[in-house]
Amino acid sequence: MTAAYVALEGGHVLEGRGRVSGTARGELVFTTAYTGYEESLTDPSYEEQVLTFSYPLIGNYGVREERFEDDRVHPRAVLAKELTEDVADWLADEGVPAIDHLDTREVVTDIRDEGAMKCGIAVGEDVTEEDALEQLEACKAMSEHTDIGAQVSVDEPVAHGADNDGVDVALVDCGAKGSIVDSLLERDATVHVLPYDADEADVEAVDPDVLFISNGPGDPANYEDAISLVQTFVEDRPVAGICLGQQIVAEALGGTTEKMTFGHRGVNQPVIDLESGRVVMTTQNHGYTVDEPGEHLEVTQVNVNDDTPEGLDGVEYDVITRQYHPEANPGPKDTLDFFDDVLAMADDQSQEAVPADD
């Protein structure tokens, strides 16, 4: 059996079965999702993290590229109770170290008790615990990845749906899932995907009806360019955001964010709308949250489990954000109407700008 070690912050070392050889390091997190492993593994929000699957069998319905959210696997390594050959082969092709035959119940419990933590991974015929500990020693905290957006964003602007007749959206790509773009295209929008460090001129060049900040990895405070864009354009046009995008919008408009103990990662997070009282199940993947929204935003939805903000609306600006992933993929599709609300917001502002007939 190929040797495999996971060195945890604090000195504890776990041993499992090596499925894909290599070394890695990153922030150790877990997901409670029992389906959607293809979507999770290709979600850019897992950049610089080591993903633990709490569900015991990963890979029982194969690997299909049409379910991918991006063109590569983003976690630095993968831990599971049992990985099928299909998933192990896929991870091997991607060069992502993988370990199974772990007691993932213990791993999840450690993360819940101690919080998301640094870890080091070593897998191979001749590796030792020391190799994993060396990786741990070199691991940086998530907040120290100050330019993580560069690892997950497009390099140049890319337009999708140029022949569509609907709303023009400038999507600032901080690590956007492909299904967000698809959800907008399905509603006849034209989507201009811009780099995470786009500037005012980049946005003005596409003259969008709405500025949309995507999901992505890392500390929202490190996305200074996206924060600046929100501050520049929020008075002139609608602003929307998903996940990291909500946090960036809050930072831009005077709110504050904070790191969560172990975050929300899964497909069964309950969210209540404070006005209607409606509860929906949501897909989530984030380790930071809005602490205080500030005077320009109001909390409209909260997580049923811990009361963290799940939805923000602008007080005097046209702003709508969600902490969860309305596009699901994987997960329940209870909240797809978010995209209709975003585009309607842009349409409403456009109609208000048209002068009335004399």
Tell whether the model's pLDDT for residue 355 goes beyond 60: no
Residue 225 has φ and ψ, to the nearest 5°, of -70, -40
**Class of the CATH-defined domain 3-140:** alpha beta
Residues at the binding site for L-glutamine are 45, 216, 218, 244, 247, 285, 287-288
Using 50, 70 and 90 to split pLDDT, how confident is the model at 88?
A: very high
Q: What is the pTM of this model?
A: 0.96
Peptide bond into 326 cis (omega under 30): no
Asked whether this chain's domains 3-140 and 148-353 adopt the same fold, the reply is no
Section 23-49 average pLDDT: 97
**Which whole-number Å values give the CA distances from 181 to 36, 123, 164, 310, in the listed order?**
18, 36, 13, 21
Pick from 111, 129, 113, 109: nearest CA to 121: 129
Tell whether the model's pLDDT for residue 38 goes beyond 90: yes
pLDDT at position 349 is 72
Q: Where are the domains of the chain?
A: 3-140, 148-353
Residues 308, 244, 200: CA angle, nearest 5 degrees = 135
Helix, coil or strand: residue 151: helix
Residues in the chain: 358
In one letter, which amino acid is 21?
Answer: S
148-353 — its CATH code?
3.40.50.880
Give CA–CA dist 89/218, Å, rounded. Answer: 28
Tell whether the model's pLDDT for residue 348 goes beyond 90: no
**Which whole-number Å values give the CA distances from 148 to 155, 196, 197, 260, in the listed order?**
13, 10, 11, 19
**Which whole-number Å values give the CA distances from 240 to 116, 134, 246, 319, 336, in the listed order?**
28, 42, 8, 6, 14
Give me the residues paired with residue 242 across strands: 322
Strands 57-58 and 22-31: unpaired
Tell whether the model's pLDDT for residue 358 goes beyond 50: no
Give CA–CA dist 273/253, Å, rounded. Answer: 22
* pLDDT tens digits for range 52-68: 999 999 999 999 999 99
Give CA–CA dist 153/216, Å, rounded. Answer: 9
Instruction: Answer with the residue of higher pLDDT: 58 or 333.
Output: 58
DSSP state of 325: B
pLDDT at position 221 is 98
Q: Which long-range contacts (CB under 8 A, 24 or more apart) does 310-313 make?
A: 310/271, 310/282, 311/271, 311/273, 312/246, 312/249, 312/250
Pick from 5, 31, 27: nearest CA to 18: 5
Q: Which residues are catalytic?
A: 243, 325, 327
Contact yes or no for 107/278 (Cβ under 8 A): no
Give CA–CA dist 271/280, Å, rounded. Answer: 5
Section 159-172 average pLDDT: 97
pLDDT at position 350 is 61
Enter the tokens of residue 134: 């060396």
Helix, coil or strand: residue 286: strand
